[in-house]
């Protein structure tokens, strides 16, 4: 019995997702997605133009797992952390078992030497499904406001 999707449950999912990344527990990150799925990072401009590709594109859970493995093995030249601050989720559509929502986000990046800057702002466009006792992402499209996004992006958004 998967229960119905409510705003409260969506907010809890969003909070758990950013906690996972901001606490650098990336190995748990693919678990937020169904398989197959769609995880895409794109820009507002390209999203508006209907471009299918993105800065990051993954459509299976395996691709998400690979991505984390690559991050862990790669030489990240400068250590960094994210701090996500989210706005309230707006439920665009909800049939109880599946919902579409939009959530504004801002990510501050903290470099190893202590510098902080606004790394990205934008909107999460999500399709969420209730499975078992959990909510999972069928689809998360991360639409970044700025076209000047670091393509070497070390951590997922």
Chain positions contacting a second copy, by CB under 8 A: 11, 14-16, 18-19, 22, 44, 81, 83-88, 90, 102, 104, 106, 108, 110, 113-118, 121-123, 145-149
Which of residues 19 and 72 has its CB atom nearest to a second copy in the complex? 19
Burial category of 96 from C-beta neighbours within 10 Å (exposed 0-12, middle 13-18, buried 19 and up): exposed
Return the exposure string of 7-16: e unless at least 16 CB atoms fall within 10 Å of the residue's CB, then b.
Answer: eebbeebbee
CA distance 32 to 42: 19
Supply 146's token pair. 């700025």
Q: Cβ 40 to a second copy, closest distance in Å?
A: 19
Nearest-approach distance from CB 153 to a second copy, in angstroms? 14
Q: Smallest distance, Å, CB 106 to a second copy?
A: 5
CA distance linking residue 124 with residue 127, whole number of Å = 10
Task: Give the nearest distance from C-beta 118 to a second copy in angstroms.
Answer: 5
First to last CA, the chain: 30
Nearer to a second copy, 46 or 60 (CB): 46
**Residue 101 or residue 139: which is nearer to a second copy going by CB?**
101
């Amino acid at each position: 019995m998967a229960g119905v999707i409510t705003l409260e449950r969506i907010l809890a999912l969003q909070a758990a997702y950013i906690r996972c990344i901001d606490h650098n527990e990336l190995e748990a990150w693919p678990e937020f997605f169904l398989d197959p799925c769609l995880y895409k990072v794109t820009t507002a401009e390209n999203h508006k133009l209907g471009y299918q590709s993105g800065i990051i594109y993954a459509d299976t859970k395996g691709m998400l797992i690979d991505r984390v493995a690559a991050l862990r093995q790669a030489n990240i030249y400068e250590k960094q952390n994210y701090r996500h601050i989210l706005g309230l989720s707006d439920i665009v559509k909800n049939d109880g078992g599946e919902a579409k929502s939009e959530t504004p986000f801002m990510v501050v990046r903290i470099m190893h030497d202590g510098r902080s800057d606004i790394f990205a702002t934008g909107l999460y466009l999500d399709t969420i499904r209730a499975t078992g006792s959990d909510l999972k992402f069928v689809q998360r499209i991360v639409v970044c406001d700025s076209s000047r996004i670091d393509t070497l992006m070390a951590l997922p958004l």
